[in-house]
Amino acid sequence: MARSRRGRIDTMLEYDFMRTAFEAGTVVAFVAGAVGYFVVMRNLAFAGHALAHVGFAGATGAVLLGGAPFWGLLAFTVAGGIGMGLLGDQLRGRDIAVGIILSLSLGFGVLFLHLYTSYATQATALLFGNVLGVSPENLRDMLVLGVLTLAFLTAIARPLLFATLDPELAEAKGVSLKLIAVLFLIAVAVATAEAVQVVGILLVFALMVGPAAAALRCTTRIKTGIVLSILFGIAETWAGIALAYATDWPPTFWITLLSSAVYGVTFVPRLLPSAA
């Protein structure tokens, strides 16, 4: 059994759809790891999760109008990100308001799905992810958006970090906290839309939050933490896709399991008794 399974793993890259899955997973994990690090630092994990649900309404609405679901998803997440960003620091801790937006968005998504019942299969892929179904055209779009998002994040990185670590001083120095919040949440929206292609709307935490949270527990150095977050995300995605190929279980399950496991491992050193 072990020998035959190794054979399957050895041959998985012979298939175009598997190579595309690894390439798409790498792009998404790279972008989600970089953006997600600041999401966790700014305590916006729940808001990021809500953006994915806002995108679900956009995707289903786009199909109802005859458009492509990904672009509807992207448009709604960006619009939602701008709206949340305009709340500025008021967004932090406003779990009730974000939760209402989240549930309302899902409600609209269900309505649009009801009005276009033949979309059920694609809706399931959006909710739970399907990295093995990414087409070369989707990959090209994801790569372009990923590069633009990383360039955008790099451009705002210094004021973003300043506003995150010491918002009062940053504002006193002339940094517009509301503008930074809007710009950053636009980047979060694009990264979320891409992550949905891999892990789905319901499990977007796996790539947007898990690797970054683990990295923050490993180091307090910003650059090192971002690199670790990216590497954790890529490793979890690659291993998840490979395990899915070997077991025929959904890749989303493996990616979320590995993301949770890596985060859990970061607690082990603190649980072990210290040497005398």
- Interval 211-244: pLDDT, tens: 999 999 999 999 999 999 999 999 999 999 999 9
Residue 141 lies in a domain: yes
Report if residue 56 sits inside a domain: yes
170: domain CATH number is 1.10.3470.10
Q: What is the pTM of this model?
A: 0.84
In a domain, 214, yes or no: yes
| Total number of domains in the chain | 1
- For 42, the 3-state DSSP assignment is coil
Give Cβ neighbours of residue 93 (< 8 Å, ≥ 6 apart): 43
Does 276 reside within a domain?
no
User: Within a domain: residue 205?
Assistant: yes
Q: Provide the residue range defining the domain that includes 193.
A: 2-264
What torsion do the CA atoms of 220, 226, 230, 235 make, to the nearest 10 degrees? -20
Each residue's pLDDT tens digit, 146-199: 999 999 999 999 999 999 999 889 889 899 888 998 899 899 989 988 888 788
